[in-house]
């Protein structure tokens, strides 16, 4: 067997542009300095053994064949092993693969909205392609990882997360365009130079974008609440005669009769405008204005897209009250994390106020920590 090779893959925070990727709109995520480490070693048979150690110390193991496929009964889509199995299956469409031993070690809180799933699938695709000697370009890695989540796991995600963890770079954010065939652009986002911190407030409220059970006699709803929002956006786009809802103009809000579809469209329309404004503020290093944009994004996600929850709302309100320039939920919603853009001198006060508010409500203390832009997936050994 060959020597062990090691890959490091970051999680990601989406700065602004939530629920736009599958609607054909831009987003501004960045890779963060919390990682998934993937260690891979070639085997002399067709087995794939996966050992996973989670941040809380929990250890799990799975075994399947290199020819694993969706719905073949080997790995259930509801099993954690569906993510590495999906990555193996997706890469297997590119070329022949050897059996491997995989060891996964993560500092990314699961279900926190920091895209641990994209880190896992991008990491397995990258590491396995390396061992197999397959020449897979970074953009193709991201797309294969997305295919693993979409077609094997059943999570109807866009491509934003995979692009962020693949193309991230220290001191920069990634500008994603889901309708482009080119690698994404980057924009400066140097927190240290501005004496700022970006705090993640992991609420501890888990979320999942896998298929959710439906009423008796109905088909499962892909992706739970996330899938429901995506389906609503697709209906709105169809009623407007559009391929993607992000192409909607202001007139769309008066053309749609369904008040729910109007609210979903209003979020997509205004969030797209917020991304464009955010890119200007990043270019000018106007972080006070950026903070205002983040808070406005949360209000839209809470009221128009309706994907927030009480824990996220309290985190955002307390962060702004404590001195943050702005704050919002990040990720698909229905739990997960909020982010707060905070002057370094006020980071402790913000964290303590959020913790106090949670304690007063009888909630479990959130995990609050600072992140900064980091390098995307890369081999370290």
Q: Give the number of other CB atoms < 10 A from CB of residue 54.
A: 17
d(CA 162, CA 160): 6
Three-state SS at 176: strand
Instruction: List, for residues 118-136, the tens digit of each pLDDT value.
Output: 999 999 999 999 999 999 9
Q: Is the pLDDT of residue 109 over 60?
A: yes
Is 161 a known active-site residue?
yes
In sequence order, what DSSP letters do the residues of 256-306 get, joined into one string?
A: ---HHHHHHHHHHHHHHHHHHHHHHHHHHT-HHHHHHHHHHHHHHHHHTS-
Distances (CA, A) of 239 to 25, 226, 248, 252: 18, 20, 11, 10
Three-state SS at 250: coil
Q: Is the pLDDT of residue 279 over 90?
A: yes
d(CA 173, CA 167): 9
d(CA 348, CA 263): 36
The mean pLDDT value for 24-45 works out to 96
d(CA 203, CA 62): 29
What is the pTM for the complete model shown? 0.91
In sequence order, what DSSP letters do the residues of 190-242 get, joined into one string?
A: -TTTTTEEEEEEE-------S-B--STTS--BTTHHHHHHHHHHHHHHHHHT-
Instruction: List, for residues 214-252, the tens digit of each pLDDT value.
Output: 333 333 334 468 889 999 999 999 999 999 999 999 999
Q: What single DSSP character describes residue 152?
A: I
- Residue 381 contacts residue 6 (beta carbons within 8 Å): yes
Q: Is the pLDDT of residue 13 over 50?
A: yes
Instruction: List, for residues 179-228, the tens digit of each pLDDT value.
Output: 999 999 999 999 999 999 999 999 989 755 444 333 333 333 344 688 89
Q: Which long-range contacts (CB under 8 A, 24 or more apart) does 293-297 make?
A: 293/16, 293/326, 294/15, 294/16, 294/325, 294/326, 294/327, 294/328, 294/339, 294/341, 295/320, 295/326, 295/327, 295/328, 296/270, 297/16, 297/18, 297/271, 297/328
**Catalytic residue chosen out of the listed positions 161, 181, 190, 313:** 161
Question: Euclidean distance between the first and final Cα of the chain, in Å?
Answer: 16
The pLDDT mean for the chain works out to: 92
d(CA 11, CA 33): 7
Nearest to 160 by CA among 193, 184, 181, 137: 184
90 contacts: CB under 8 Å, gap ≥ 6 = 121, 125, 144, 145, 147, 148, 151, 152
d(CA 265, CA 245): 7
Domains identified in the chain and CATH numbers: 5-189+375-379 (3.30.230.10), 196-371 (3.30.70.890)
Q: How distant is the alpha carbon of residue 273 from its chain centre?
A: 21
What pLDDT is attached to residue 213?
35
d(CA 151, CA 136): 20
216 contacts: CB under 8 Å, gap ≥ 6 = none
**In the chain, % of residues over pLDDT 90:** 85
d(CA 220, CA 12): 29
Three-state SS at 353: helix
């Amino acid at each position: 067997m060959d020597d062990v090779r090691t890959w490091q893959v970051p999680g990601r925070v989406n700065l602004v542009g939530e629920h736009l990727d599958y609607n054909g709109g831009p987003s501004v995520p960045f890779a963060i300095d919390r990682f998934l480490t993937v260690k891979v070693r070639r085997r002399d048979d067709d087995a794939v053994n996966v050992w996973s150690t989670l941040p809380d110390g929990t250890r799990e193991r799975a075994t399947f064949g290199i020819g694993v496929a969706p719905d073949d009964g080997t790995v259930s889509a509801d099993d954690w092993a569906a993510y590495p199995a999906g990555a193996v299956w997706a890469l297997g469409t590119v070329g022949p693969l050897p059996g491997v031993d995989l060891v996964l070690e993560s500092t990314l809180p699961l279900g926190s909205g920091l895209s641990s799933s994209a880190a896992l699938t991008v990491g397995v695709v990258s590491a396995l392609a390396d061992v197999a000697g397959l020449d897979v370009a970074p953009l193709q890695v991201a797309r294969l990882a997305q295919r693993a989540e979409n077609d094997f796991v059943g999570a109807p995600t866009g491509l934003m997360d995979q692009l962020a963890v693949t193309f991230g770079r220290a001191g920069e954010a990634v500008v994603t365009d889901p309708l482009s065939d080119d690698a994404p652009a980057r924009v400066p986002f140097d927190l240290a130079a501005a004496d700022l911190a970006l705090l993640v407030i992991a609420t501890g409220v888990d979320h999942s974008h896998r298929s959710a059970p439906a009423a008796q006699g109905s088909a499962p709803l892909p992706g739970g609440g996330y899938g429901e929002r995506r389906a609503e956006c697709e209906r709105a786009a169809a009623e407007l005669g559009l391929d993607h809802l992000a192409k909607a103009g202001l007139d769309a809000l008066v053309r749609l009769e369904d008040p729910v579809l109007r609210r979903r469209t209003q979020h997509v329309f205004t969030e797209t405008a917020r991304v464009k404004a955010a890119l200007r503020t990043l270019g000018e290093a106007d972080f006070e204005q950026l903070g205002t944009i983040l808070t406005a994004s949360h209000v839209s996600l809470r009221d128009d897209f309706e994907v927030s929850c009480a824990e996220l709302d309290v985190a955002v309100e307390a962060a702004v009250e404590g001195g943050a320039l702005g704050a919002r939920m990040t990720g698909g919603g229905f739990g997960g994390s909020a982010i707060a853009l905070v002057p370094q001198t006020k980071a402790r006060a913000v964290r303590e106020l959020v913790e106090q508010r949670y304690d007063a409500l009888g909630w479990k203390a959130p995990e609050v920590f600072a992140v900064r832009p980091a390098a995307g997936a890369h081999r370290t050994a």
